[in-house]
Chains A and B, each alone.
Chain A
Amino acid sequence: MSSQRSFFNRRLHSLLGVIPVGFFLLEHLYTNYLATKGPQEFIKQVEWLWGIPFLPLLEVFFIFLPLLYHGVYGLYIAFQAKNNLERFGTFRNWMFVLQRITGVITLVFVIWHVWETRLQVALHGSTATELTRDFAQIISNNVTFTLYIIAVLSAVFHFCNGMWTFLITWGVTVGQRAQRVSFAIFTFLFVVVSYLGISALVAFSKADFLQHLALK
């Protein structure tokens, strides 16, 4: 009998997409959302996060490696598909294709985003306030702002549609009705989390955000 390695890899890919990567996405977008209450709130939360013990270890083992695995294996899965929207233009087939496209967008975005934020902190030893200021400057540019909006929507879509398939992958939602209900729930989640993500971007990009920051 042939090996069961690919079953194990797929299930691991599926699990890591939710725990921890999916949870991290939610936490991250929530933290960013605090920026809508002013830069101080956001900075306070960032400083609190930075105070978590063993943070670098957590970052490597609970964010970086799982995301790397999910992303690289995801690319392999995505490029194996023979997409056939022209023959089957059904809703679920669109979701299948979009899941793969948004995965690739998210991967490219995450590399860029980590370079601009986390790695700058690591390279220059910026404080939370400096990080916030730098990011507000980055996002005040219209092109960057648009790219961030696309990326946030992609990541949130990918996570929410991924939750829908996750429940099927693990055999939680088996029948059609269960899958319809779970679709309604994750569509709602998509709307809520997208709102959190986009309002954060809008808050960061506002001209007076930097002024508030300067006054502090």
Chain B
Amino acid sequence: MSEQKTIRLVVTRQDGPNENPYKEEFVVPYRKNMNVISAFMEIQRNPVNAEGKKTTPINWESNCLEEVCGACSMIINGRPRQSCTALIDNLEQPIRIEPMNTFPVLRDLIIDRGRMFDALKKVKAWIPIDGSHDLGPGPRQSEEEQQWRYELSKCMTCGVCMEACPNVSGKSSFVGPFAVGQVALMNSHPTGVMRAQERMEALISDGGLQECGNSQNCVRACPKGIPLTKAIGTMNRAATKHMFKKWLNF
């Protein structure tokens, strides 16, 4: 019988928000069809590092385990992505795992994506309705609009585009590529368009759309394949029109 196959992971850990990060190596027994999260679960069961020393289990977040909730994003072998769909068989070893430290790190791989929620609130990424009574069927949308909006609607606020964007950092207040996509989504909705100007005003306030520097990393990184650069271009055009209209109407 052959030796038990193992996998090696090097995890960047951090004990608390204000602690220094450090690397810890783990060797985990291999099973078929493992992903990064099941490797973490293995460590949770037996929290011993590669040197054989007892350590604390790794802290991480995950929910859906099928790449729709966005909670489990981290940097795996240099790329920000979801750990639930990071299959061990497809990863080069040792697997290097780091938190997405564009965001504040709370502990180990757990980050605070609160700035994304703030961004959504800032750009008013919702459609207000008055009351909970039946408003009847909504307005019809063309097939073309539906296709475009469907793509944009797939965002799960996972933060990967934020990590990928060179203009999102502690030094800037950029709301990030995803927020531009959400304004494009809400502003192209036949009911949402009623508040399009309001969202536009918010989108071009400080830290808004204008912070984009066209590195186009976001569209490469987004796990949902959301056409973020097209959304940015669309909103840039809308912002140009908005600006001139405002000046000329004044």
Contact = CB atoms under 8 A, between A and B. Distances in A.
Interface of A: 1-7, 10-11, 77, 80-84, 86-88, 90, 92-93, 95-97, 99, 164-165, 168-176, 179
A11 B6 CA distance: 55
Contacts, number: 113
Nearest to A81: B166
A86 B166 CA distance: 12
7 contacts: A7-B239, A10-B210, A11-B243, A82-B171, A168-B236, A170-B240, A171-B237
A93 B217 contact: yes
Contact of B205 (A4, A87, A93): A4
Given A6-B207, A82-B166, A92 B215 contact: yes
A17 to B, nearest CB: 13
Interface stretch (B10-18, B46-54, B226-234): B226-234
B221 interface: yes
A11 B212 CA distance: 12
A172 to B, nearest CB: 8
Contacts of A169: 214, 236
A88 B164 CA distance: 8
B220 interface: yes
B209 A7 contact: yes
Given A93-B216, A96-B215, A169-B214, 8 more contacts: A6-B210, A81-B213, A83-B166, A88-B220, A95-B214, A164-B214, A171-B236, A179-B229
Interface of B: 75, 78-80, 102, 164, 166-169, 171-172, 201-202, 204-211, 213-217, 220-221, 229-230, 232-241, 243
B217 A84 contact: yes
A81 B214 CA distance: 12
The 3 closest A-B pairs by CB, nearest first: A171-B237, A174-B233, A96-B215
A215 B204 CA distance: 61
B169 A82 contact: yes
Given A80-B172, A93-B215, A171 B234 contact: yes
A11 B235 CA distance: 14
B172 to A, nearest CB: 5
Contacts of B236: 168-171, 174
Contacts of A92: 214-217
A11 B102 CA distance: 26
Nearest to A172: B237
B233 A11 contact: no
A77 B32 CA distance: 48
A175 B213 CA distance: 16
Contacts of B238: 171
A11 B134 CA distance: 44
Contact of A171 (B79, B102, B201, B240): B240
B166 A96 contact: yes
Contacts of A81: 166-167, 169, 213
A168 B206 contact: no
Contacts of B221: 88
Contacts of B172: 80
Contacts of A97: 166
A85 to B, nearest CB: 9
Contacts of A93: 166, 215-217
A95 to B, nearest CB: 8
Given A3-B206, A86-B78, A175-B230, A168 B214 contact: yes
